[in-house]
């Protein structure tokens, strides 16, 4: 190129041709580069890995698919698997009952989740295992935010219980509203089937480090590892506190309301006629065996806050039909859930967007769908920034 240029410089005309030729090459380079970037930015060509197939992981994966990303879930447990205490979501009581107060982000998570569940309960109740039910929350020493919960203006039939409403022993205040109850076994399978129908892929793996999810084809990793975020290499979040819960399952199809004595326990009916009675909160306890003493305390409280479990209106006794006992580990995180971005460099040297979405504790079914929406928006924001950095480099060279 240097020899050709030196020869052309002998006449002005030929020099102009050379300059135009170089400008053409630069313009062609810029056009090709931009075309490559546009191809790269097609979302169906962007590979996203979601770690975890609990209610948070599945909710996030489906939200990413709705934005047309190509999504693969990596997990050790999936809906329909045999019971395992490390797979928390199937053991949840699963009632929409927001307990957040002034956290606006958490309120949005919960609101978005309620909106989805309400639509599903009124359109696909049988397929999803979600049903609309009346809720009664009781308190022994309510705070101002519990007396006037943030959600009172959008849940149906909200009212403060009055003098004509009977309160259970030990409570001094109560509210009523209409909510939704979720049968986790049905809902998780349904949500997973939607993921598969939209082209999602999954692999059963055990990850020891977050880098294990980053081969050279991966662009984005979303970490929904739940309690495993405490031990997953590259994350190792010491604020995650595995917290055991033990519930009792009874068959009581006549119970068609949910009752909660806040900070004590609950009664939650499911669409199949079973009712979940709970619960315990035992930090760092990973024991899978049923504690008979805890079970009896749960049963005693349930009889107190929901007398209809064992008595008809005329006072006739109803024998409680115990179906079984379940234990699960809640992925509690001190300080609340972690839903945020970071950029990691993979072992191959590639910059990877990592979006964390874990630590929701007992509130996965209260906030899961909404947190999935939020995490998806974080993915889009961070990945767009990485692509802009690449575009800036290409633009720089195109001007040289």
Among 69, 65, 66, 85, CA closest to 77: 85
Element (H, E) at 47: strand 47-51
Contacts of 83 (CB under 8 A, 6+ apart): 90, 91, 326
Q: Where are the alpha helices (DSSP H) in 233-343?
A: 292-305
CA distances from 275 to 257, 265, 321, 323, 356 (A): 10, 13, 10, 9, 33
Instruction: State both tokens at 170.
Output: 């030990």
Beta bridge pairs of residue 247: 326
28 neighbors 52 (Cβ within 8 angstroms): no
DSSP strand pairing (201-204 vs 240-251): unpaired
Contacts of 230 (CB under 8 A, 6+ apart): 236, 237, 238, 240, 242
Residue 89 annotated as binding?
yes
d(CA 298, CA 287): 17
Beta bridge pairs of residue 250: 275, 322
Q: What is the 3-state secondary structure (H, E, C) of 229-257?
A: HHCCECCCCCCEEEEEEEEEEEECCCCCC
Residue 330 annotated as binding?
yes
d(CA 377, CA 32): 29
Residues annotated within the binding site are 88-89, 97, 330
Annotated binding site for D-dopa: 97, 330
Residue list for the binding site for FAD: 88-89
């Amino acid at each position: 190129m240097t020899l050709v240029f030196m020869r052309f410089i002998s006449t002005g005309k030929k020099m102009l041709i050379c300059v135009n030729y170089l400008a053409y090459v630069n313009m062609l380079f810029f056009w090709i580069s931009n075309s490559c970037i546009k191809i790269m930015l097609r979302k169906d060509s962007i590979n996203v890995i979601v770690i975890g197939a609990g209610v948070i992981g599945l909710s996030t994966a489906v939200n990413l698919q709705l934005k047309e990303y190509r999504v693969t879930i990596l997990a050790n447990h999936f809906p329909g698997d045999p019971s395992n205490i490390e797979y928390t979501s199937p053991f949840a009581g699963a009632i929409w009952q927001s307990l957040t107060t002034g956290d606006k982000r958490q309120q949005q998570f919960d609101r978005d989740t309620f909106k989805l569940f309400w639509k599903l309960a009124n359109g696909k109740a049988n397929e999803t295992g979600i049903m609309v039910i009346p809720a009664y929350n009781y308190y022994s020493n309510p705070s101002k935010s519990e007396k006037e919960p943030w959600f009172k203006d959008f849940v149906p039939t909200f009212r403060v219980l009055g003098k004509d409403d009977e309160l259970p022993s030990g409570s001094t205040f109560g509210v009523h509203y209409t909510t939704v109850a979720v049968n986790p076994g049905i809902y998780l399978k349904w949500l997973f089937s939607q993921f598969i129908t939209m082209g999602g892929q999954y692999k059963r793996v055990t990850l020891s480090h977050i880098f294990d999810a980053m081969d050279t084809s991966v662009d984005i990793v979303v970490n929904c590892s739940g309690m495993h975020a405490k031990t997953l290499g590259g994350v190792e979040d010491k604020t995650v506190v595995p917290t055991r819960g033990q519930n009792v399952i009874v068959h009581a199809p006549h119970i068609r309301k949910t009752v909660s004595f806040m900070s004590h326990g609950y009664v939650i009916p499911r669409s199949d006629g079973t009712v979940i009675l709970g619960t315990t909160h035992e930090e760092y306890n990973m024991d899978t065996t049923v504690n008979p003493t805890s079970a009896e305390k749960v049963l005693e409280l349930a009889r107190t806050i929901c007398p209809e479990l064992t008595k008809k209106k005329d006072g006739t006794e109803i024998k409680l039909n115990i179906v079984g006992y379940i234990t699960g580990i809640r992925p509690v995180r001190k300080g609340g859930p972690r839903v945020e971005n970071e950029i990691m460099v993979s072992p191959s040297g590639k910059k990877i967007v990592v979006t964390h979405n874990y630590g929701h504790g007992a509130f996965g079914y209260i906030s899961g769908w909404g947190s999935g929406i939020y995490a998806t928006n974080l993915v889009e924001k961070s990945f767009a920034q990485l692509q802009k950095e690449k575009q800036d480099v290409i633009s720089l060279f195109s001007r040289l």
